[in-house]
Amino acid sequence: MVKNPRKRQKISDRYDPASSKEAKLSKLLDDENKDEEERRLESLLFGKKYEPKVQEKGKSRQAESGEDTTTDESDDDNAAVGGGGMRHLLDQDLFFVDDTAANGSSSMAFQATGSHSELEDTDSGSGSSSSSWSTPSLPSGQGPLYSKSITASGSKPPAWVDPADTQPTKVSLLGGASRLRKLRHAVDEDEITGREYETRLRDKFERLNPEPAWSKNFRNSKRRKTAGGRDDEDLGEARDLEEDGDPEGLETLVSSSHGILKERRKRIVALPRGTIALERVRDANHSTQCSTSGEVKVVSFHPKPAVPVLCVATSDRRVSLFHIDGHLSPLLTTLHVPSLPVLSDSSVLYHPSGNSLLISGPRPFFYTYDLQQGTSTLHRRGLWGTGFDDSSILTPSNLQKRRRRNGQAGNTTGGGGSGGGGNTESISHASFSPGTGSMLAVAGKGGNVHLVDWKSGAGQVIGNLRCSSSGGGGGGGIKGLWWIPSSTVNGEVLGDRTGCIDEEKHLAVLTGEAEVYIWDVGQRRCVRRWKDEGGYRGAGRVLAGSNGWIAIGSTSGFVNIYGSDAMATPSIDDTHSTGRNPKLLKALGQLTTPISTLKFNHDSQILAMASKDKKDALRLVHLPSLTAFGNWPTSSTPLGHVTAVDFAARSEYVAVGNSRGKVLLYHLKDYGA
């Protein structure tokens, strides 16, 4: 097969003047022959300012009239995108004094060294505009003339100047690295000064990384404060204080009389009803989930906001402490107490001071763990004077043998037996008094509440409170304890006319018969007793309280919410109102199985209620409106069977423990981190 010969391209013998270097360069620099797209592309590649070819007549008319076309909005835009590139320049690089003999007067002229746009000066007499890109040379023997030191507004003079910066240096854009060619303003530009090179690098960085909105807003707020009409001396002092590390300035420092190191009041957060903003972060016990930990029994945050520590107790009798940071949440330490089962949500309690942990359970002894020293102490004598001379009694195998020998194999609450002094009391529910934590209330058997002196450290019972209605069987006993504060944010709750706060004066007790006792701890007498609405024998399950609120969970799944009248105590003369029931604000029926967990957040705007008998049975309630948040949890939220819930000290996190041994951690965006 014969192949066709390849056709040759015809080459013209005529000489093309555009092939010369000068013609090509002039063609590249001619903006009249370029379209808008090409000019826009050049501005992106070489850093040239893009100006569209529109409104030429309007521009010339404004130039003839001498009007200034710059506005405040354009200044803000230039400052946001590469407008701060000349902040590092010295005054002699920006300004000079024109002291020529032609006009006989001194005038200040701006020199834009290394800027993207030329500053045009229009002469009213001649109408010609001239632009300068370099500092003019002064007559020989005459230095730069300055009438006064010119500094940028809001800036301080440099504390130290490198002598190498003042020496003239040259940087080659074509002879150096290839990436330096992006800094050229013209195709044939080669050498620039060192300060010009620094200016272009700063402009390049600010174009690629624009100024964030928060920085721009802060700078504008400082400008508004500066324009308030204060003296220059006061402005300088306030400006120096702000730049030294006090962002709030001098006015905030001298406007209050409290100490500088005192913690300032946090901002008040008003949660909207209907929806709650939260996001899931890595599980709190992510580092220990690989091991079989069992069901989560206790989830408790440290009471101090400055200590982000979460305590997690599981059914394998281990107590773990995690550092909550919202990312990794590393494990700090783990305590193993094989002789003490963890059954209730109050088995592990923080002391209100935050220095120690109380670990208790269905045994007549307890442990205390010092958080500062990292040491645990076993209190063998117990709260009721029981003694354990033989340390082998603390092992689980020996305890089981003693139960079988004494015919107590089915009794899971007796821990001492006859060998422990004949006292089988245990700790099922406990609560420290708020504030000082000098007293501990412990729920015992037969409707008894033991008051333990915790101030001396001996842990001895100093008094008993007996609830008569819960002494029998059939679902009786103590189900919840809560210390009632003497005063709240909204005013007096208990009618204390003296005005002093006694946080250890009244104690609220919930029995299994759904009855609430309010005890005067100092006088050891019941000052009020009322029954939960809709409650019956064995219906009471959980009691929780906060500032002006009381929530009671029942076996039917309803949660009754009461106001401050449920905590008010009658006067001495009004003896008929002792058993008067308070007004029920609302009965929440979102859950249908027995309530196992009730928890308020720190400002009493959120109530978490959960039931461990049903999967994903958790709801968050907006207390000001008494409505549940509808956007969370969803059908895809992996809650499981919720066994424990707790909020952080400032409600920035909420931890949810389930029966699979996981502690889910969620960040509440309204309260911040």
Higher pLDDT, 621 or 120: 621
pLDDT in tens, 298-309: 999 999 999 999
- The pLDDT assigned to 622 comes to 96
- The pLDDT assigned to 309 comes to 96
Query: Would you place residue 481 in the very low, low, confident or very high pLDDT band (cuts 50, 70, 90)?
Result: very high
* pLDDT of 147 strictly over 60: no
Element (H or E) spanning 44, and its range? helix 36-46
- The pLDDT assigned to 255 comes to 58
Which amino acid is it at 396? P
* pLDDT of 68 strictly over 50: no
- The pLDDT assigned to 256 comes to 55
* Beta strand ranges found along 128-258 (DSSP E): 129-130, 170-172, 191-193
- Strands 606-610 and 618-622 turn out to be antiparallel
Which of 89, 86, 84, 87 shows the shortest CA–CA distance to 166? Answer: 89
Chain center to CA of 329: 15
Query: Would you place residue 495 in the very low, low, confident or very high pLDDT band (cuts 50, 70, 90)?
Result: very low
- The pLDDT assigned to 250 comes to 57
- The pLDDT assigned to 503 comes to 57
- The pLDDT assigned to 123 comes to 42
Region of poorest pLDDT, from 390-399, 553-562, 566-575, 589-598: 390-399
Which of helix, strand or coil describes residue 525? strand
Q: How far apart are CA 562 and CA 70, in angstroms?
A: 64
* pLDDT of 636 strictly over 70: yes
Which of 4, 372, 28 shows the shortest CA–CA distance to 187? Answer: 28
* pLDDT of 474 strictly over 60: no
- The pLDDT assigned to 122 comes to 40
b/e burial code for range 120-153 (CB count within 10 A of at least 16 → b)? eeeeeeeeeeeeeeeeeeeeeeeeeeeeeeeeee
Region of poorest pLDDT, from 70-79, 621-630, 658-667: 70-79
CA separation (Å) from 425 to 308, 412, 472?
35, 12, 17
Could you tell me what percentage of the chain is helix, strand and coil, using 3-state DSSP and rounding each to the nearest 5? 20, 25, 55
Higher pLDDT, 227 or 583: 583
* pLDDT of 447 strictly over 50: yes
* pLDDT of 588 strictly over 70: yes
Region of poorest pLDDT, from 66-75, 195-204, 411-420: 411-420
CA separation (Å) from 348 to 27, 100, 291, 360, 414?
83, 86, 21, 6, 19
pLDDT in tens, 332-358: 999 999 999 998 899 999 999 999 999
Return the axis-axis angle of helices 213-226 and 72-80, rounded to nearest 10°.
130
Region of poorest pLDDT, from 67-76, 420-429, 624-633: 67-76
Average pLDDT over residues 430-435: 90
Give counts: helices (H), strands (E), the chain: 11, 36
Average pLDDT over residues 476-500: 61
Give me the chain's average pLDDT, please: 74
* pLDDT of 274 strictly over 90: yes
Region of poorest pLDDT, from 29-38, 160-169, 215-224, 234-243: 234-243
